[in-house]
């Protein structure tokens, strides 16, 4: 089961979280939503994706 959880805060800022995707398909899955919403200000691979390491890219537009 693939799940995308989208949380829209009270000022319109959005957080998108994916679960259950294999490989890099999760990024493809949310790319369209992210692009439609605006500018991605941070993108963090969660713990499970990189065996405990957290990778963050700032100001990716």
User: Where does this chain bind other proteins (CB under 8 A)?
Assistant: 1-27, 29-30, 32-34, 36-46, 48-49
First to last CA, the chain: 29
Work out how close the CB of 59 gets to other proteins at its nearest, in angstroms, rounded to a whole number. 10
Residue 51 backbone zone (phi > 0: left; psi -120 to 50: alpha; other: beta): left
6, two tokens:
């989208």
């Amino acid at each position: 089961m693939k799940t995308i959880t989208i949380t829209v805060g009270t000022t319109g800022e959005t957080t998108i979280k994916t679960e259950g995707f294999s490989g890099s398909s999760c990024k493809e899955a949310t790319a369209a939503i992210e692009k439609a919403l605006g500018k991605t200000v941070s993108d963090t691979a969660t713990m499970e994706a990189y065996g405990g390491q957290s990778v963050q890219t700032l100001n990716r537009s």
